[in-house]
Amino acid sequence: MNQIRFVVSPRIMGEEKFFGPGIAALLHRVETYHSIRQATLSMGMAYSKAWAIIRRAERELGFPLLVTTTGGKEGGGASLTAEGRAFLEKYDRFCALVNDHAKADFAAVFGDGEPRDAGKE
């Protein structure tokens, strides 16, 4: 058998899907670049699409994810709000937990491991 692997991509739902790996990557890049435009350029994402997914997430969450400053002599910028950073950290922690469990289950089903007893967490 060829080398196989799994991919788990948690998405958070409200009225609709509003948070997943794409927006998480975008927010991490905003933190790195301090710029929505630079974050979108680094991802090959349209600036307008980035704002659409940010607004949808903010609507569902009920709080702003970003604080922005407009351009000018010093240039504009963006950073995560305290609530936005806390939510992103929780999402990252949740993804890590999901992936840890999925790795064990994947190894048990497709590898040499023993199945994990889901009742013994």
Q: What is the per-residue pLDDT across 4-62, written as a single tens digit (0 to 9) for each?
A: 888 899 999 998 899 999 999 999 999 999 999 999 999 999 999 999 999 999 999 99
Beta bridge partners of 78: 68
Q: State in Å, rounded, how far the first CA of the chain is from the last one.
A: 31
Identify each DSSP E strand in 50-116 by its residue range. Answer: 66-69, 77-80
**How high is the pLDDT of residue 26?**
98
User: What is the rounded average pLDDT for all residues in the chain?
Assistant: 89
pTM for the model: 0.83
- The helix/strand/coil state of 67 is strand
Tell whether domain 20-110 is in CATH 1.10.10.10: yes
Q: For the chain, how many helices (H) and strands (E)?
A: 4, 4
**How high is the pLDDT of residue 73?**
63
**How high is the pLDDT of residue 70?**
83
Q: What percentage of the chain carries pLDDT values higher than 70?
A: 88
User: 74 pLDDT band (50/70/90 cuts)?
Assistant: low
